[in-house]
Structure 1
């Protein structure tokens, strides 16, 4: 299954090699954590063409407020798999997000969950939102914000933060783009077991990107690598 997903992802990447603006994005991700290996494949379709002009390339859809639908698949060591269907909708300064997740664990147990997000843009690239899921709704509520600043030298800074109602935890992340194509980031959280995370991403062409991430946890460390293709 892993080889099939890898070959499919690479074939999609090869067709995207000359793309600039795009309507479709494919992500192929591999993560290892505590002797578990996870591979994920997802595809996003944007109903209006996304442009990378004058944007941080990995944040182009957010900065352009492009409506989209995403379908994703995740497999964990062949013992469990998950399916995700999600969508982002922008109308003027209003944002609505919806996620539907299905998880099936070897042995017959399965579960379906829903998550929603409602937000408002207080400035061009500044979103404040409230999110929650259908399971233990009050505990899952979170207040979120995301802001992207465009600097004079053509670089960008992305800042995100969330306050989680369950246990009153706070998470924060920041990414610095020294060019539109390249970024490095840091994430912190007061959640149990979480120490810090670092990540980096680079677009080798307008259509092909690679990303790396390392997360330090009390129980073990997690490492992930991902490929992105756009066409």
Structure 2
């Protein structure tokens, strides 16, 4: 009798840790710049997701469980970013003779709410956010600052021709304090999770937005099993005057079905970045 109760208890514990209704993702990225102006910047991200139906991972990768299960959800995101410049000579911008040392700092807070909804073979994603930015310049002991607020938005409509392939299009943009501070971009998204041999999977994804500023990211992840993956991503941003590209290697490992840790190392022209992140499900 005792053995039966023990087995029953273990089964309940196992099932409760395998299925989940909510998820928290957090991470920090440190970027080091090798140029004459920017020193470094940091980015902290936090996202909470509530699923309308419990997510039940099966044989696929734990990291892709909600996508493979077509689990609709609502989410909230917050990010904080800061940037510091080096001390540089700004005499070219001021009516003075001789060198003049100056330094600038920047930080921003961005919050947003969104939802993903799967209906049969159709996919809908909507997101609305508010971003507050502040830049401060310090020259010869005198400082001046400027605040900037904007509303961000994103809306996608997609179709799944097969259960693990998503193709979506929509808009991605922002509206600033005045009509000139805006960009309404055409957005595309694609994602495909395919099974391989011996319980292994591959994830292919792409995300892009095209307007006054064009940006695109493509990535791939190889899942050795349900818990462990190694992948790569390439990102390019073109603002019309110049373009910057960035290549990254990333990995994620689930210590158990409810807790994962991950990291990323990236590099580009005169820039290196390091990221650590974690996922908790309950």
TM-score higher than 0.5: yes
Size of the aligned set, in residue pairs, is 212
Residue 210 of structure 1: aligned partner: 261
Residues 84-116 of structure 1, C-alpha deviation per residue, up to 9 Å, x if partnerless? 211100000000011112111234321111111
Cα deviation 1:118-174 (Å, max 9, x = unaligned)? 10001110111113224433xx21333211101231111001134654487754211
Cα shift at 1:42: 1.6
Note the C-alpha offset of 1:24. Answer: 0.6
TM-score normalised over the length of structure 2? 0.70
Question: Counterpart in 2 of 1:115?
Answer: 154
Provide the aligned C-alpha RMSD in A: 2.0
Q: Which residue of 2 aligns with 1:153?
A: 198
* Among 29, 32, 48, the residue aligned to 1:31: 29
Maintained 8 Å contact 1:30/1:224 = yes
1:53-132, aligned counterparts within 5 Å? 53-77=58-82, 79-106=107-134, 107-132=146-171
CA distance in 1, matches of 2:236, 2:153: 25
- How far apart are 1:219 and its partner, in Å? 3.7
Counterpart CA distance in 2 for 1:189 and 1:104 is 25
Between 1 and 2, higher relative CO (CA 8 Å, sep ≥ 6) is seen in: 1
- Cα contact 2:112–2:128 (8 A) shared by 1: yes
- 1:50 equivalent to 2:46? Answer no
Do the aligned partners of 2:172 and 2:209 also contact (CA within 8 Å) in 1?
no
1:39 deviation in Å?
Answer: 1.7
Partner of 1:20: 18
Give the direction of change, closer, same or farther, for the CA distance of 1:134–1:164 in structure 2 (3 Å limit): closer
Shift of 1:76: 2.1
CA distance, structure 2, for counterparts of residue 115 and residue 89 of structure 1: 14
TM-score in terms of structure 1 length: 0.84
Distance 1:162 1:47 in 2: 25
Distance 1:199 1:56 in 2: 16
Three-state SS of the structure 2 residue aligned to 1:179 is coil
State the match for 1:185 in structure 2: 231
Higher mean C-alpha deviation, range 90-99 or range 212-221: 212-221
Residue 226 of structure 1 corresponds to which residue in structure 2? 277
CA contact (8 A) 1:50 1:64 kept: yes
Contact 2:220 2:232 in 1 (8 A): yes
